[in-house]
Amino acid sequence: MEKLILMRRKKSLVEEYAESLSGKSKKTVDAYVRAVRQLTEWIAERPGSAGVFRPEQFTKTAMEIYLNELQKNGYSVSHRNKVKAAASSFANWLIEEKEMMGRNPTRRIPIPAEASMAPRELDSDQRYVLRSLVERHCDLRGKAIFALGYWAALRVSDVSWLRIEDVHIGPKVGWIRVGHKGNKYREIDVINEVRRGLAEYLEDGRKYKESPYVFTSQRADRLTEAGIEHWFRKLKSKATKDEWEFIHDVTFHDLRHDFAHRARENGWTLEEVAYYLGHITKRGTPAIQTTARYTQVSRKQLKDKLKLIK
């Protein structure tokens, strides 16, 4: 009986919290409620919670461990910051409106911003494993998504918001218009790996025909950023034990960093890399400093060049 009451209370808490967000946009409300629901369900599964969410179990320790688990599971810094913001909003509501808590457990929990900009150059084994997993386990949609990250350096948001009208693919040519983040749109040519992937996926027709977006899901007319990150984690989960050791901590965004390194190795200037990746200032000039962080010198590079000194 007590469990049933607590389950009803849990449902009402989340729903009441959602109603308190009526002044925010639908997109924000949906994101906050989804994050809070996942957090409360996770807390309910912890020892001492008896299978239901109890506000007294919403502690700083719980929040720290939850965020750490998200990090281990490959969620981006941006996503974890959004989860923390939603959790903080929920905690403040429990404190001020429901008087069920005394302090906000999300305070003073750092999520290092620099982690999102940490340059990542994949080694040959990591590239081999990822491309092999895609070939073995991906459908046409998955292959197209991976190609846009690995061979075109698109952000997760660029892939998610890519519109059919911005894809121009022919038998021998291909270019796309991207740049959802910050509305900094640009037109870039794509190589055959991307062109073929997009062409095969679109020609196959496995998408909602009424959707203006290239990538859709079974639930919506657009595959969200979270959906793409979930897809990438699911892809990695199909790795063998030996393969997992190489790619367990690789994120979709790392594909973008690795593209920048490969471009530099093949003679691209920083200005060219900056344009292709969309690192553009408000004046429309290449943001070299941002691109330099993506391609900064690694210890391995210096170690290899040390051998050349005579």
Per the domain annotation, does 306 fall within a domain?
no
- For residue range 247-300, list pLDDT tens digits in order: 998 999 999 999 988 988 888 888 888 888 887 666 656 555 666 656 655 555
Residue 6: predicted pLDDT: 45
191 in any annotated domain: yes
The model's pLDDT over 57-97, given as tens digits with 9 standing for 90+, comes to 999 999 999 999 988 777 878 889 999 999 999 999 999 99
171 and 261 belong to one structural domain:
yes
- Residue 229: CATH number of its domain: 1.10.443.10
Domain count, the chain: 2
Q: Same domain for 209 and 234?
A: yes
Q: Are residues 100 and 207 in the same domain?
A: no
Structure tokens at 229: 């990150």
Residue that finishes a domain, picked among 116, 139, 173: 116
190 and 168 inside one domain: yes
- The single residue listed with the structure tokens 């001020």 is 96
Neighbouring C-beta atoms of residue 1, cutoff 10 Å? 5
Total-model pTM: 0.62
Q: Are both 276 and 227 inside the same structural domain?
A: yes
Q: Give the integer Cα–Cα distance in Å for 246 and 126.
A: 6
CATH number at residue 46: 1.10.150.130
Same domain, 108 and 156: no
Question: Which amino acid is located at 138 in the chain?
Answer: C
User: Which residue, 230, 208, 202, 231, is CA-closest to 221?
Assistant: 208
pLDDT digits (tens, 9 = 90+) for 180-214: 877 778 889 999 999 999 999 998 876 666 899 99
Q: Is 309 within the bounds of a domain?
A: no
Query: Is 305 a member of any domain?
Result: no
Do 23 and 166 share a domain, yes or no?
A: no
Does one domain contain both 72 and 107?
yes
- 310 is a domain residue: no
Share of the chain above pLDDT 70, in %: 82
Asked whether residue 112 falls in the same domain as residue 133, the answer is no
Domain termination site, one of 82, 116, 150: 116
What is the rounded distance in angstroms from the CA atom of residue 304 to the CA atom of residue 126? 19
- Considering the domain architecture, whether residues 29 and 138 belong to the same structural domain is answered as no
**Full residue range of the structural domain in which residue 187 is found:** 124-300
Residue 308 maps to a domain: no
Domain final residue, candidates 90, 116, 142:
116
| CA dihedral sign, ordered 181, 184, 187, 189 | negative
* Same domain, residue pair 91 and 232: no
